[in-house]
Structure 1
């Protein structure tokens, strides 16, 4: 009897051990699988993906768009500027690109395609003033100027058939914000009456905690420009930068997007920085035989090389692993609506990573 009980206890303990072992293996496999498929999502988090297509890079941008358009919640055509009379201005590249975009969206139309308007002003000489705060001052200065600007925006989206307007007004003077907020509040219901939407892009410098942004429009927070043409070498964003931004984004109405910038920069020692796409940076690393390293604080990759003229260069850029980490950090803070600046010469692996975001 005692021997029999001992055998039974041994059998039971082995069953428990076997069950526990299988459970551990199952959990481990699930964790590994989760890491393989890409960034995780917080429970109940809304996941959306949008991207910009710039008029000056529309050919290669269109190739990337063709690969991921089924995964995009919306597309933003970055293509509307201003002329010397403060009226909307469209480049020849925009008129070349629009028919090609229409071909890709021939079944669904442009309902989920926005026209992005930026406060860059083109002069008759062909030169442009980028992110001109004085332009915003003039457009927002009076009730009449705001109404005229709104009329022109609405006419443009109706003429071209876009689903909405996105406003990327940067370097706004502090004294112009009150008028700009009035403009947002007036424009949104007018677009809604036409069945159109409004998105508003915000710089990191915007004092979003103090601004009384209206409910209704979608808001997009730029999570880049930590390093760039304005600075020495470094990543466009790092984990601490993203965490700091997401901690501020609770001040924004609705469920805002967080925007990440792909590609990178090549800094010449003692000189200016040159923008690079992901593909260009990858090719440059191979051509120069450089050793690529990954920065733990940002997930970005970087390398150094010496050019033929013996000038030293440092390159930082984002690849699919970088994007995965950035999206993961934002997701952990509760922000799963991601916007990508911009399509064009992205690696296939990065495009595949983005497609996984909605799965």
Structure 2
């Protein structure tokens, strides 16, 4: 073979090898990409009644956050929306360019009455603001105006108990679709928070908003002692929410709850739970199914039981969610956590 022929032969062999290598690399990338999960998105809530403690957690976890929701705006006695002064005072911080995460204003269907009492998760106020097209449009415009004026990047709707009645649920869907269009026109993003009892499979949710599903009410103020979530509950919730369109997030809860045999029930932060354990010299044990910590103690003849989550619990719950294909996590809430910066 002459030199010209050998050169052509080498070029042909080299081209063939490159094709094989590129093909192998492409196939390897495809297989690898199927195994890898998309980058996680981390969100958290900051409650207006606990801003100081929440700000301490935020200082530690802020660089890991993609979104921060300020909780929240609620209804006043005349069905108009009210922004707590604690949140309105945060306007300058919200507009700071160096924060690195999107900010959302959370709207809740709590009604603060003229006599000072509060109706939590009030469905009657939703009936009024969803009563007809004019009322709904007025409510949407008020949400948009408040969000823009306060300098948030997006809107978060946390209207609960709307699925107690099918008609109310359908009105909520109409509201969500209209709100999304107006939010988009005003360069605002939209997140919708849903309860785990939502009829996901039987409902056609509008495409566009991000959906956040709560996975932290397995046990609580409505029940006897137990963890806010466990492996089975997270698996079940994650499976149900797969029918939702677009981007999805699973909400997990910090802290825990206290129950007594005289009927007392109240939520606790992780720091409060640890402090009680130290005061009463109780030794918390880790529950296998939930990875929560649990302990009991007595005071003046009354028995108490406490269940709570720490960062090991949260990372376990996160791993269970990821196994179900859910990689975006929303954390309720900042404030009173010991090692929230170690959330994966």
Verify same fold: TM over 0.5: yes
Distance change >3 Å, CA 258–CA 329, structure 1 → 2: same
Range moving further from structure 2, 328-337 or 178-187:
178-187
What CA distance in whole angstroms lies between the structure 2 residues aligned with 1:185 and 1:110? Answer: 28
Residue 91 of structure 1: which of 84, 96, 116 is its match?
Answer: 84
Deviation string 1:294-336 (CA, Å, 9 cap, x unpaired) is 11011101000011x1211000000111111100000011111
Partner Cα distance (2:304, 2:92) in 1:
37
Offset of 1:64 from its aligned partner? Answer: 0.6
The residue that corresponds to 1:353 in the other structure is 342
Report the CA distance between 1:253 and its aligned residue.
0.8
Q: What is the TM-score normalised by the length of structure 2? A: 0.87
Describe how 1:1-359 pairs up with structure 2 within 5 A.
Answer: 43-96=36-89, 98-99=90-91, 101-102=93-94, 106-108=96-98, 112-172=102-162, 173-307=165-299, 309-347=300-338, 349=339, 351-354=340-343, 357=344
Q: Contact between 1:295 and 1:302, CA under 8 Å: does it hold in 2?
A: yes
Cα distance, 1:79 vs. partner?
1.8
Using the alignment, how far apart are the partners of 1:42 and 1:229 within structure 2? 40
- More divergent stretch after superposition (49-58 vs 269-278): 269-278
Secondary structure (helix, strand or coil) at the match of 1:299 reads coil
Q: CA deviation at 1:353?
A: 2.1
Partner Cα distance (1:324, 1:344) in 2:
18
Aligned residue in 2 for 1:20: none
Q: Distance in 2 between matches of 1:131 and 1:111?
A: 28
Question: Residues 111 and 326 from structure 1, CA distance in 2 versus in 1: closer, same or farther, beyond 3 angstroms?
Answer: closer
Report the CA distance shift for 1:127/1:100 in structure 2 as closer, same or farther (over 3 A).
Answer: farther
In the alignment, the residues of structure 2 paired with residue 191 and residue 265 of structure 1 have an alpha-carbon distance, to the nearest angstrom, of 36
Cα deviation for residue 111 of structure 1 reads 7.1
**Larger RCO, structure (CA 8 Å, separation 6 or more):** 1
> How well do the aligned residues superpose, as a CA RMSD in angstroms?
1.6
Question: Does the CA-based 8 Å contact 1:54-1:79 persist in structure 2?
Answer: yes
**C-alpha distance in 1 between matches for 2:260 and 2:281:** 17
For structure 1, which runs of at least 5 residues remain unmatched after alignment?
1-40
Q: For residue 280 of structure 1, give the secondary structure of its aligned residue in structure 2.
A: helix
* Structure 2 gaps, min length 5: 1-33
* Alpha carbons 2:157, 2:192 under 8 Å: kept: yes
Post-superposition CA distance 1:183-204 (Å, at most 9, x none): 1111112111111101000001
Structure 1 contact 223–259 (Cα < 8 Å) conserved: yes
**Distance verdict in 2 for CA 1:318–1:119, change over 3 Å:** same
Post-superposition CA distance 1:125-165 (Å, at most 9, x none): 11110000111111112111110011001101111111011
Contact 2:54 2:334 in 1 (8 A): yes
Alpha-carbon distance between aligned partners in 1 of 2:139 and 2:257, rounded to the nearest angstrom: 35
Moved beyond 6 Å, runs of 4+: none
